[in-house]
Amino acid sequence: MIPAPLLPDRPRPLVFAHRGCSSLAPENTLAAFNMAREVNAPGIELDVHLCASGELVVAHDDTFTRTAGDSRAVADLTFKEIRAMDVGSFFDPCFKGENPPLLEEILEEFCPGLYVDIELKTRKIKGDPLPDLAAEKIIALGDRVLRSVSVSSFNPFSLIAFKKACPLIPTALIWSADKEVPAILRRGLGRFIAPCDYLKPVYVQAKGISHGGRSRLRKRPIVPWTIDDPVLAEQMLRLGCEGLITNRPQDMARIIAYP
């Protein structure tokens, strides 16, 4: 399969605001994505779950325990139930009333002005509707979105399914040594399972990828996470990374001041 280029029309380095501008506003909310746009972040990163009523909900965790005090699984809640949740107050009372958005709401609002990295949140190995539904939503929104998105996941099987449905969208394997990641996937070996057009290692593991290592990775673009120090960001870019993911796009002005 010919690799899909990673956002070829966008200036380098690529800079994705992690869950929106999550250092200044509650993560994965409209407020956070608007804040990212206000501080001139050229891109955003978000997480997507499938809820019980079939919608694609922008949220990071399997539950809303951390952000709304609700321990029920996202997969067991209808979107009506989810939309009623306050996921802003945990961050600051001034964000009370912020609720989880749908994937299509964010794409319609921010593309093509910003580019978007969509992380598929699923642990299923087979029979998972999430990748196909994500592909359907992206395709239905047309060229302005198709040319503005990439898709990533810790789950290589999710990437396989998505790529079958939407081969022209660039996809990335994410990895880290976190204990919640299956041991076999903690060093990026999922790239031998899934078709990957670029790679998203945690930055401490990306630092160890030499130029020789990049050759072994077939010179695929590397976009590490999560880098909040602009000095470290510049170091990673000098090592050959094509972009980065950050909670603090407001501190990356020198990096995103494109000629």
Per-domain residue ranges of the chain: 14-251
Is pLDDT above 60 for 133?
Answer: yes
Question: What number is the average pLDDT over the span 47-70?
Answer: 98
Question: What number is the average pLDDT over the span 122-147?
Answer: 96
Give the number of other CB atoms < 10 A from CB of residue 232. 15
Is pLDDT above 80 for 213?
Answer: no
Is pLDDT above 50 for 212?
Answer: no
Instruction: Identify the pLDDT of residue 210.
Output: 47
Chain position carrying tokens 């997480």: 47
| Separation CA 62–CA 68 (nearest Å) | 12
| Separation CA 153–CA 233 (nearest Å) | 22
Is pLDDT above 50 for 215?
Answer: no
> Which listed CATH number (3.40.50.280, 3.40.50.150, 3.20.20.190, 3.50.50.60) goes with 14-251?
3.20.20.190
Instruction: Identify the pLDDT of residue 248.
Output: 98
**∠ at Cα 202 (99, 157), nearest 5°?**
75
Q: Which pTM value belongs to this model?
A: 0.96
Is pLDDT above 60 for 168?
Answer: yes
Of 39-43, 112-116, 170-174, 203-207, where does mean pLDDT reach its minimum? 203-207
70-73 and 115-120 beta bridge pairing: unpaired
Question: What number is the average pLDDT over the span 225-250?
Answer: 95
Of 2-6, 38-42, 79-83, 140-144, where does mean pLDDT reach its minimum? 2-6
Identify the helix (H) or strand (E) that includes residue 150: strand 149-153
Q: Are 169 and 159 in contact (CB under 8 A)?
A: no
